Amino acid sequence: MRKRHVVFYVSSHGLGHLTRCVEVAHALRLLASSHSPVSDTHITITFVTRGSNCEILGARPLRADDDFEDGNTHGDGDGDGDGDGDGGRSSCITHVLEETFPVRDRDLDAGAVQLDAFTIDVDATRNAATAFHALLDGLVAEEAAWLAEAGADLVVSDVVGLALSAARRAGVKSVLMTNFSWGFIYGAFVTRDVVTRTGCAFGDVVAREDAMLEEADVFLRLPGHSSFSQTLERRAKDVPMIVRTQREGREAMRARFGISSATRVCLVMVGGHALGMALDWRDVERDSWVYFVTASVLGGEVSIPPHVRVVPPDAFIPDMVAMADVVLGKVGYGTVSECLAARTPLVYVPRLNFAEERDIVSLLTANGAGVEMSRETFVRGRWADALEAAVALRPHVVRVDASGAQTVGAMLLSML
């Protein structure tokens, strides 16, 4: 039995990076254990990412007696992880076979500092990114040492540049899998003579972000991608959309919530971010709609009208997307991919200072699934026109190729 250790480094910003990497990890493990010529390969998988993101998706701390070597846990889930800064682990339990992946809890990038669910704070993001980069050499050295100690055979990075530098230093093969780069996002924030409070020119941050990605041995480019450096563009291998697979269909979900097939349902969500703006649900046009709303949208709201329901905290969001006639929220890879996979139109509020939004919107509209709503219209609750326009799109939404997890899993297995 050949043993191989694959390490997924996942951006700390948002949940879409994490959900798609988990899907690839499941596909890789299933392929390795299938009845194939390579079924003698045992895959150990570790995630390196922000532990709190895993908790949003339903993770729990691992007990000391949990066995995560074979992807299963045997504890009752009541224990605490060790929680120390170097080896603290949480578990990322997801829906395929209820497997568990150990998580090395790390902040791996500065991401973007947001004022609300739809707006990047440019100044705060510049300062956060340069402060993070001031620590970058030490972080790369730390991860390179850990990769060697952990016996890593392959690193998969979802837009984490330091992981690729660390893999190169440790002599481990690496794969970059993403639809955008932080260099692309940050590049829009560079202005002449901008120097952050750390004394570092922000242009240097952008240049290093781009350079680190070029250290990948393989570049897998996802749909809805932005532009990359010429070096990466020449090496890009396009793969299908990676998306979480539904557990239950539309009718089963509606039966679960006691909703007739004739009732029109709108799912309101903004990913793992807080809405960050005032929204009075009494002002939202009701008409014939029932609204399912995630906790991040409601915030501290406790008084909501009867036609608004809270999405259960343990709900599997792709199933909620499939149940809805329309999703209302923001344009992000995770939301768009799940809407396209379910053929559910998305009414989106434009985000400010997110450079990659143009390319994801293009993917959405090219498949006939997008309707724009202004921020003012959203806050005022005047949603009826946009929702009706989206309902009219529903029969015409294009069915997309959502086999990316299996495609990438097979590629990774061949590299092992």
**pLDDT tens across 311-346, in order?**
998 899 999 999 999 999 999 999 999 999 999 999
Query: What is the pLDDT confidence band of residue 58, given thresholds at 50, 70 and 90?
Result: low
What's the pLDDT band for 280 if we cut at 50, 70, 90? Answer: confident
pLDDT over 70 (residue 198): no
Average pLDDT of the chain? 86
Number of Cβ within 10 Å of residue 185's Cβ equals 23
d(CA 298, CA 275): 8
CA–CA gap between residue 162 and residue 160 (Å, rounded): 6
pLDDT at position 73 is: 34
- How does residue 199 score in pLDDT terms, banded at 50, 70 and 90? very low
Q: Does position 182 have pLDDT exceeding 90, yes or no?
A: yes
Are 2 and 41 a contacting pair, CB within 8 Å?
yes
Q: How much is the pLDDT for 301? A: 60
- How much is the average pLDDT of 225-238? 96
Per-residue pLDDT tens for 348-390?
Answer: 999 999 999 999 999 999 999 999 999 999 999 999 999 999 9
**How many Å from the N-terminal Cα to the C-terminal Cα in the chain?**
13
What DSSP string runs through 291-331?
A: EEE-HHHHTT-----TTEEEPPTT--HHHHHHH-SEEEE--
Amino acid at 369: A
Could you give the domains of the chain? 2-241+404-415 (3.40.50.2000), 250-396 (3.40.50.2000)
Dump pLDDT digits (tens) for 25-50.
999 988 988 745 555 678 999 999 98
The Cα 228–Cα 306 span in angstroms is 47
Q: Give the angle 198-199-203 at the CA atoms, nearest 5°.
A: 100
When pLDDT is averaged across residues 222-239 and rounded to a whole number, the result is 96
Average pLDDT over residues 234-249: 94
Predicted pLDDT at 14: 76
Is residue 300's pLDDT more than 70?
no
Question: What's the pLDDT tens digit per position in 95-151?
Answer: 333 467 888 989 999 999 999 999 999 999 999 999 999 999 999 999 999 999 999
- What is the pLDDT averaged over residues 38-65? 73
pTM: 0.88
Percent of the chain topping pLDDT 70:
84
Q: Which amino acid is at 353?
A: N
- Asked whether the beta carbons of 147 and 156 are under 8 A apart, the reply is no
Residue 191 has pLDDT above 80, yes or no: no
